[in-house]
Amino acid sequence: MKKRSWAEPWKIKMVEPLRMTSRAERERALAEAGYNTFLLRSEDVYIDLLTDSGTSAMSDRQWSALMLGDESYAGSRNYYDLEQAMSDVYGFAEFIPTHQGRGAEFLLSQLMIKPGQFVPGNMYFTTTRYHQELAGGQFVDVIIDEAHNPTSTFPFKGNVCLKKLQHLIDEQGTDKIAYLSLETNVNMAGGQPCSMENIKATCELCHQHDIPVFLDATRCVENAWFIKQREAGWNDRSVVEIVRDICNLTDGCTMSGKKDSLVNTGGFLAVNDIKLAEEARNLLVCHEGLHTYGGMAGRDMAAMAVGMHESIEEDHIRSRVGQVQYLGEKLMDAGIPIVQPIGGHGVYLDAAAFLDHLPRDEFPAQTLAAALYLDCGLRTMERGAVSAGRDAEGHNIFPKLELVRLTIPRRVYTQAHMDVTAESVLAVWEHRRAVTGLRMTYEPVRLRFFQAFFSPLVGCTVLPVDTSPEVVAN
Ligand SMILES: *Cc1c(COP(=O)(O)O)cnc(C)c1O
Q: Per residue, what are the HEC states of 172-216?
A: HCHHHECCEEEECCEHHHCCECCCHHHHHHHHHHHHHCCCCEEEE
pLDDT for the residue numbered 280: 98
Query: Which amino acid belongs to residue 55?
Result: T
Q: Which atom of ligand 1 is nearest to the CA of 257?
A: 7
Ligand 1 atom 10, closest CA: 101
Nearest CA to ligand 1 atom 6: 101
| pLDDT of 247 higher than 70 | yes
pLDDT band at 11 (very low <50, low <70, confident <90, very high): very high
pLDDT of residue 9: 95
Report the distance separating Cα 357 and Cα 434, nearest Å: 10
Q: What are phi and psi of 232, to 5 degrees?
A: -55, 135
User: Which segments within 289-416 are labelled E, that is strand?
Assistant: 346-350, 378-379, 381-383, 403-407
Query: Which stretch of 73-82, 151-160, 387-396 has the lowest confidence by average pLDDT?
Result: 387-396
What are 259-272's pLDDT values in tens digits? Answer: 999 999 999 999 99
Share of the chain above pLDDT 70, in %: 99
> What pLDDT was estimated at residue 151?
87
> Which letter, b or e, does each residue of 429-462 get, where b requires 16 or more Cβ atoms within 10 Å of its Cβ?
beebeebbbbebeeeeeeebbeebbbebeeeebb
**SS3 for 162?**
helix
Q: What is the mean pLDDT of the chain?
A: 96
At 114-150, the pLDDT tens digits run 999 999 999 999 899 999 999 999 999 999 999 999 8
- Ligand 1: which residues within 6 Å by Cβ? 53, 100-102, 125, 127-128, 183, 187, 216, 218, 256, 258-259, 267
Cα distance between residue 387 and residue 399, in whole Å: 9
pLDDT higher than threshold 90 for residue 445 = no
Residue 218 Cα to ligand 1 middle (Å): 6
Test site for ligand 1: of 38, 50, 52, 53, most ligand atoms within 8 A of the Cβ = 53
Which helix (H) or strand (E) covers residue 440, if one does?
Answer: strand 438-442
Catalytic residues: 73, 125-126, 216, 259, 383, 449
Q: At what angle do helices 162-172 and 196-208 cross, to 10 degrees?
A: 10
pLDDT, mean of residues 279-289: 97
Nearest C-alpha neighbor of 320 from the set 186, 195, 221, 194? 221
Confidence of residue 5 (pLDDT cuts 50, 70, 90): confident
Bond into 341 cis (ω within 30): yes
Q: What is the mean pLDDT of residues 333-358?
A: 96
Instruction: Answer yes or no: are the C-beta atoms of 158 and 192 closer than 8 Å.
Output: yes
For residue 392, name the pLDDT band (cuts at 50, 70, 90).
confident
Once rounded to an integer, what is the mean pLDDT over residues 401-426? 96
pLDDT of 473 above 60: no
What per-residue confidence (pLDDT) applies to 470? 72
pLDDT at 446: 84
Give me Rg for the CA atoms of the chain. Answer: 22
Task: Name residues whose C-beta falls within 8 Å of residue 277's C-beta, 6 or more positions apart in sequence.
Answer: 93, 94, 96, 271
The Cα-based distances of 302 to 77, 99, 260 in angstroms read 9, 14, 15
Give 2 Cα–ligand 1 centroid separation in angstroms. 40
Reported as a single tens digit per residue, the pLDDT across 202-235 is 999 999 999 999 999 999 999 999 999 999 999 9
The answer to whether 142 and 120 have CB atoms below 8 angstroms apart is yes
- Antiparallel, parallel or unpaired: β 118-121 and 138-141: parallel
Rounded Cα gap, residues 3 and 276, in angstroms: 51
Residue 3 pLDDT exceeds 90: no
Closest CA to 94 of 245, 217, 254, 264: 254
Short-list 39, 27, 365, 95, CA closest to 252: 95
Residues in the chain: 474
pLDDT-based confidence at residue 469 (cuts at 50, 70, 90): confident
Residue 359 CA to its chain's centroid (Å): 27
Under 8 Å between Cβ of 249 and 243: no
* Domains in the chain, CATH or no CATH each: 23-52+314-473 (3.90.1150.10), 60-311 (3.40.640.10)
The per-residue pLDDT for 67 is 97
* CA-nearest residue, atom 5 of ligand 1: 101
Ligand 1 center from residue 274 Cα (angstroms):
24
Which of these ranges, 59-63, 251-255, 400-404, 430-434, has the smallest mean pLDDT? 400-404
pLDDT beyond 60 at 86: yes
Burial class (CB in 10 A: 0-12, 13-18, 19+), 426: middle
Is the pLDDT confidence value at 474 over 60? no
Ligand 1 centre from 204 Cα, in Å? 26
pLDDT at site 341: 95
Quick: pLDDT tens for 18-34: 999 999 999 999 999 99
Q: What is the pLDDT of residues 302-325, one digit of tens each?
A: 999 999 999 999 999 999 999 999
Cα 70 to Cα 303, 310, 395: the distances in Å are: 12, 21, 50
Helix (H, G, I), strand (E, B) or coil at 268: strand
Q: What is the model's pLDDT at position 471?
A: 65
Work out the angle at residue 395's Cα, subtended by the Cα atoms of residues 445 and 191, and round it to the nearest 5 degrees: 75
Mean pLDDT, to the nearest integer, of 70-74? Answer: 97
Cα gap 416→323, rounded to integer Å: 11
Ligand 1 binding pocket mutation candidate from 55, 56, 125, 192 (most atoms within 8 A of CB): 125
- Residue 3 CA to ligand 1 center (angstroms) comes to 36
